[in-house]
Amino acid sequence: MPAPTSAAAVANEFLDIQSVDPGFPPIDQMKIQKLVFYSHAWYLGLESVPLFEEDVYAWPWGPVVPPIYHDFLEFGRRPIAGKRASELVKAGPGNLEFKFIIPSVADAGLKTFLRQVWDAHKRFTGVQLSNATHATGEPWTIIREKYGNLDSKPLIPNDLIQEVFAKKAKAVAHAAVPANPGA
C-alpha cells in the first residue's frame, strides 16, 4: 500500500498552517525537518504505515528527510518564506518526461492529523525540537548509539520509528483513560 502523501506535501502543509497561525517561533530549516519527522513518526506509531515514502536519516542535528533539506537549504537558519517544497513527477510516457510540482495534502483527515502535530509542536523552536529528538530512547539517539558518530548519516528505519512511537501512542492512550471509567 503506498503512503498517503509525500514529505514535500507535509512540509508545505506546515508552512500553510503557520501562515494562518502566526505568533510562534517561525519555521526554519531545522523546525521543518523536525515537524516532518514527528508527523511521520506519530503516523507510523498510530497507523502502522508510513506517512510518506521518503526515508529519514540520522544527521548530527537530528532526523532529516534529505529532499526537504535540499528544498530549503538556501534559508539556513532564517525563517522559510515565499517558497514551498517541490517534487519531481512523471509527466508523460517518455523516459525523460518529468516535471516539478508543488504538492499539497488533499485528504481532510491528514490535514486534521497534521494540524494536531502542529498544535503540539508549534511553540518550540527548531533547536528545541532537535534537542527533543536527542532524548534517551528516541529513534535518532538509538541510531547514534549504534553508530557512535553520524558522519555516514545512517538511515533511521521505519520499523524502529514505528516501535518507539507505537509505545508512546499506547502510553498516551492509556494515560487518557480515567482510572474509574464510571467516575
Q: pLDDT tens-digit profile of 102-154? A: 999 999 999 999 999 999 999 999 999 999 999 999 999 999 999 988 999 99
- Tell me if 100 is assigned to some domain: yes
Please give the pLDDT value at position 3.
85
- Tell me if 17 is assigned to some domain: yes
Phi first, then psi, for residue 142 (nearest 5°) are -60, -45
User: What residues in the chain have per-residue pLDDT under 50?
Assistant: 177, 180-183
Indicate the residue type of 106: A
Boundaries of domain holding 129:
7-171
* Number of domains comprising the chain: 1
- Tell me if 177 is assigned to some domain: no
Please give the pLDDT value at position 89.
87
State the Cα–Cα distance between residues 44 and 165, nearest whole angstrom.
7
Please give the pLDDT value at position 182.
39
How many CB atoms neighbour CB 98 within 10 A?
12
